[in-house]
């Protein structure tokens, strides 16, 4: 082979390699519950993330949004997509608990969740459709405190990040969030534990989205990364509970 | 004291439980009466949510107590039957909770260290748990808005009241006449939480 031909061959291979590269190297898109906004990028900085309320993300995927992985804060959303044939069978990868947070120093003097019976406080609560809102309502029903949603000035927020921010900024006297969110604003909020007996099981599930063009291999690799030793360590660091290894 | 056999306990538990009150007397007769399905109104559901967690905790106590040394065969048989009846209570309560049903895996029961080292310690804990159940059932019976909910809570209260009396007799405690003090789920929850942990958040 002459020198020119060899150079041409090498150049051709290089061009082919460049053309082939984007499909494999393109970042996958992960749609994840807002409460995972700190932990997931620490587990894998590669994907493009979209953090919102799980119900909002579910609706977007149902409309054909280009997600590769979906991680929800309750089994309902991922389970619904699975039943619709829009994602693989979901796997549980983390757990959480719900707490009540107040601005630092607890200026409105909330001693326990039962204090909210006295009313007239600014309370930030998730909408009924978002997991944190559903869990909150379930807890309040168990505690026989549903009436506090009427006796206080309640703002309904679309996801847990919005509730956390509102309380941390002092725009609300209290809000129901996950303990992991409380941990992320520990310098600006105080935590009030809710009775353990009233806690519903908060389970996070994720799945690979089924749509044309999904990068299944990379999506599965991401899920495996989250469930592997390092992923579990990061989740634990951020305050999440962990299911037994499967 | 009338002897309670396994069949009686199971029959009681299977129908939601009822017996005639009385120190140590556990009767099965009226228990077979069918109950209307509870249709909780408003926060009535809270009584059932509390009760199912407390019954699961109590069931665990009956299971653990079987390991205690020095208990006779008939006592063990009754403990075992009572544990199974508790399981029936849980199913009955979870039927009311439907989508909000509580599973044993939703929380972990952690009794204080040494609770089952001696018969006396075990019985003290058992009486505390049954006392908690009886008092919160009594509160629910008084304050639940739905009449069929009140009926089920009342029947469970009577059944557990008999167990409380039986445990008292085992512990050598004289029966106390009259009803115990009712306690709401706020106070009851504080007591129950001593024995619970959330899985993964120990």
- Tens-place pLDDT, residues A144-196: 999 999 999 999 999 999 999 999 999 999 999 999 999 999 999 999 999 99
- Closest by alpha carbon to B40, among B81, B97, B120, B90? B97
Residue of B nearest to A202 (CA): B106
Question: Can you give the pLDDT at residue A26?
Answer: 79
Amino acid A17: pLDDT: 46
Contacts of B190 in chain A (CB under 8 A): 195
Residue-wise pLDDT tens digits, A209-241: 999 999 999 999 999 999 999 999 999 999 999
A15 falls in which pLDDT band (50, 70, 90)?
Answer: very low
Q: Does B201 contact A197 at a Cβ distance shorter than 8 Å?
A: no
How far is residue B49 from each of residues A75, A91, A138, B129, B140, measured CA to CA in Å? Answer: 20, 27, 10, 16, 11
**Residue B136: its chain A contacts at CB < 8 A?**
none
Q: Which chain A residue's Cα is nearest to B47?
A: A142
Of all residues in chain B, the one with the smallest CA distance to A201 is B106
User: The whole model's pTM is what?
Assistant: 0.84
pLDDT digits (tens, 9 = 90+) for B126-155: 999 999 999 999 999 999 999 999 999 999
Q: Which residues face A29 on adjacent strands? A: A48
Residue numbers in B near A237 (CB within 8 A):
none
Q: Do A197 and B192 touch (CB under 8 A)?
A: yes
Taken in order of first residue, the domains within chain B and their CATH numbers are 7-15+37-197 (1.20.1260)
H-helix segments, A26-159 = 39-43, 54-62, 75-83, 131-142, 148-151
* Secondary structure element (H or E) that encloses residue A237, with its range: helix A229-237
Number of C-beta neighbours around residue B10 at 10 A: 17
> Which tens digits make up the pLDDT trace of B49-106?
999 999 999 999 999 999 999 899 999 999 999 999 999 999 999 999 998 899 888 8
Question: For residues A174 and A163, what is the distance between their CA atoms, to the nearest angstrom?
Answer: 9
* Domain A3-92+208-237 coded CATH 3.40.190.10: yes
For A98-198, CATH gives: 3.40.190.10
pLDDT bin (cut points 50, 70, 90) of residue A243 is: confident
Domain boundaries, chain A: 3-92+208-237, 98-198
């Amino acid at each position: 082979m002459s020198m020119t031909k060899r150079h041409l061959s090498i150049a051709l291979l290089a061009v082919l390699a460049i053309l082939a590269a984007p499909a494999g190297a393109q970042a996958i898109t992960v749609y994840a519950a807002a409460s995972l906004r700190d932990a997931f990028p620490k587990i894998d900085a590669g994907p493009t993330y979209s953090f919102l309320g799980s119900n909002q993300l579910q609706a977007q995927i149902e409309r054909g949004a280009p997600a590769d992985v979906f991680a929800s804060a309750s089994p309902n959303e991922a389970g619904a997509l699975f039943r619709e044939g829009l994602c693989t069978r979901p796997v549980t990868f983390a757990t959480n608990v719900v707490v009540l947070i107040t601005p630092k120093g607890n200026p409105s003097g909330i001693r326990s969740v039962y204090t909210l019976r006295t009313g007239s406080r600014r309370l930030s609560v998730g909408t009924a459709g978002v997991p944190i809102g559903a869990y909150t309502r379930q807890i309040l029903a168990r505690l026989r405190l549903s009436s506090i949603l009427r006796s206080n000035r309640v703002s309904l927020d679309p996801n847990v990040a919005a509730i956390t921010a509102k309380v941390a900024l002092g725009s609300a006297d209290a809000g129901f969030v996950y303990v992991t969110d409380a941990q992320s604003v520990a310098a600006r909020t105080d935590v009030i534990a809710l009775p353990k007996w009233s806690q519903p099981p908060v389970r996070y599930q994720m799945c690979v989205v089924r749509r044309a063009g999904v990068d299944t291999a990379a999506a599965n690799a991401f899920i495996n990364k989250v469930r592997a030793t390092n992923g579990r360590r990061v989740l634990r660091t951020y305050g999440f509970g962990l299911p037994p290894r499967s | 004291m009338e002897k309670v056999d396994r069949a009686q306990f199971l029959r009681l538990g299977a129908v939601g439980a009822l017996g005639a009150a009385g120190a140590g007397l556990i009767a099965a007769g009226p228990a077979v009466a069918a109950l209307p399905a509870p249709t909780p109104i408003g926060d009535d559901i809270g009584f059932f949510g509390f009760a199912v967690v407390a019954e699961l905790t109590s069931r665990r106590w009956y299971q653990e107590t079987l390991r205690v040394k020095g208990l006779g065969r008939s006592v063990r048989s009754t403990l075992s039957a009572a544990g199974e009846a508790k399981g029936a209570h849980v199913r009955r309560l979870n039927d009311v909770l439907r989508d909000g049903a509580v599973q044993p895996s939703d929380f972990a029961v952690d009794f204080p260290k040494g609770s089952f080292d001696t018969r006396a310690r075990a019985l003290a804990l058992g009486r505390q748990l049954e006392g908690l159940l009886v008092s919160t059932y009594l509160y629910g019976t008084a304050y639940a808005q739905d009449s069929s909910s009140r009926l089920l809570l009342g029947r469970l209260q009577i059944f557990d009241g008999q167990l409380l009396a039986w445990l008292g007799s085992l512990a050598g405690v004289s029966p106390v006449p009259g009803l115990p003090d009712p306690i709401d789920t706020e106070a009851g929850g504080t007591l129950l939480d001593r024995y619970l942990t959330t899985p993964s958040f120990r």
